A = this chain, B = another copy of it.
Amino acid sequence: MSRSSVQIGADGRLKHLLTTEGLPAEMIRHILDTADQFVSVGEREVKKVPLLRGKTIFNVFFEGSTRTRTTFEIAAKRLSADVINLNVGASSTSKGETLLDTVYNLQAMDADMFIVRHSQSGAAHLIARHVKPGVAVINAGDGRHAHPTQGLLDMYTIRHYKKDFSALTVAIVGDVLHSRVARSQIHALKTLGVPELRVIGPKTLMPAAVERLGVRVFHDMTEGIRGCDVVIMLRLQNERMNGALLPSAGEFFKCYGLTAEKLVHAKADAIVMHPGPMNRGVEIDSPVADGRQSVILPQVTFGIAVRMAVMSMLGSQ
């Protein structure tokens, strides 16, 4: 069974959110349209709607991430769900329990939804294939594979500022090789019809045969960024910086760090994005991160709305 058939039911409705790969353009647009309604909830006096009242949602994080876990927790609470945070790395798995036993146990507690982060690619998909009908799984990041809610919030952000995808030039810059965020962005951007999609980075941080995803590869940043409407910077994991793949953080910044000097080659109204948390002075320079073209903080705000959209769609089945 392919991943897309696991996440979309026979009736065409979203059953799980595992990846942006194979997610139809219509479904992506439906999620973004639903998110529109939730952006306003965050601006209200009472930031709460009763859509998931009495539902039990588990944040099951086999890999630590306070930031992502927090965004899902906020989204769930604003939908009035009961949220249980489980840092599973520290408990059952250390007791020798298998991933599926952990999930079956939580499911037996009448769980309605699992938000899953795992260091292994395919973990959320494995869980989705084994839960009961009516129980939904959201992939909050699995290995190098996918981080679909991040990809979707990025689509929301681009649509918000650029309206139409059909004439855009978009560049994704940095460590594409290890980035599940990049993968989720690339699939969604291709599906939404972006005509010119570029990836920029050193050869050592570029996946083999990345061109097959329909992107153009650049190793020179000035060239790659030229004429772009959207520049998406990726986070450089600390653990890469002293490794064999990169000479040093300083060297990386010199070549691929986004500075005002380099950004000038993009369009004058280009927007700058970053999934956070930023390494200032490594992949992005502070004047750019805090500058007028940066939409990094709006990404965070839209992220809550997009997660509320996905959760409300999955939870009201």
Interface status of A261 (Cβ within 8 A of chain B):
no
A97 an interface residue at 8 Å Cβ cutoff? yes
Q: Are A67 and B105 in touch, CB under 8 angstroms?
A: yes
**CB neighbours of A87 from chain B (8 A):** 66
Q: Which residues of B contact A77 (CB under 8 A)?
A: 56, 82, 84
Contact of A84 among B43, B45, B70, B102 (CB under 8 A): B70
Residue A96 at the chain B interface, CB threshold 8 Å = yes
Interface residues of A in 279-306 (CB under 8 A from B): 279-280, 297-301, 303-304
In the assembled complex, how far is the CB of residue A90 from the closest CB belonging to chain B, in whole angstroms? 7
Contact B301 A110, beta carbon cutoff 8 Å: yes
Contact B48 A53 (CB under 8 A): yes
Closest Cβ neighbor of A100 among chain B residues: B290
What are the residues of chain B within 8 A of A56 when measuring CB–CB? 47, 74, 77-78
Residues B97 and A43 in contact, CB atoms below 8 Å apart: no
Chain B residue nearest to A277 in the complex (CB): B97
Measured between alpha carbons, how far is A299 from B98 in the docked complex, in Å? 18
Tell whether, in the assembled complex, residue A82 and residue B78 are in contact, meaning their CB atoms are under 8 Å apart: yes
User: Which residue of B47, B96, B108 is within 8 Å of A279 (Cβ)?
Assistant: B96
> Mask for A208-243, Cβ within 8 A of B = 1, else 0?
000000000000000000000000000000100000
Per-residue contact bits, chain A 73-103, to B (CB 8 Å; 1 contact, 0 not): 1100110001010111011100111100110
Task: Quote the shortest CB–CB distance from A202 to chain B (angstroms).
Answer: 20
User: Does A55 belong to the interface (CB within 8 Å)?
Assistant: yes
Distance from A257 Cβ to chain B, minimum over Cβ atoms (Å): 14
- Taken together as a complex, chains A and B put the C-alpha atoms of A210 and B300 apart, in Å, by 46
CA of A91 to CA of B54 in the docked complex: distance in angstroms?
30
Q: A1: CB under 8 A from chain B?
A: no
Interface residue ranges of A103-124 to B (CB < 8 Å): 104-110
Bound Cα distance from A64 to B102, whole angstroms: 16
Nearest B residue to A98 via CB reads: B280
A110 to chain B, nearest CB (A): 4
Residue of B nearest to A276 (CB): B105
When distances are taken between beta carbons in the complex, the residues of chain B under 8 Å from A43 are 110
A interface residues, Cβ below 8 angstroms from B? 42-48, 53-56, 64-67, 70-71, 73-74, 77-78, 82, 84, 86-88, 90-92, 95-98, 101-102, 104-110, 238, 276-280, 297-301, 303-304
A and B contact pairs by CB, cutoff 8 A, 21 listed = A43-B110, A44-B54, A46-B53, A46-B55, A47-B56, A47-B110, A48-B82, A56-B74, A56-B78, A66-B91, A70-B86, A70-B106, A70-B109, A78-B82, A97-B277, A101-B277, A101-B278, A108-B297, A109-B300, A109-B304, A110-B304
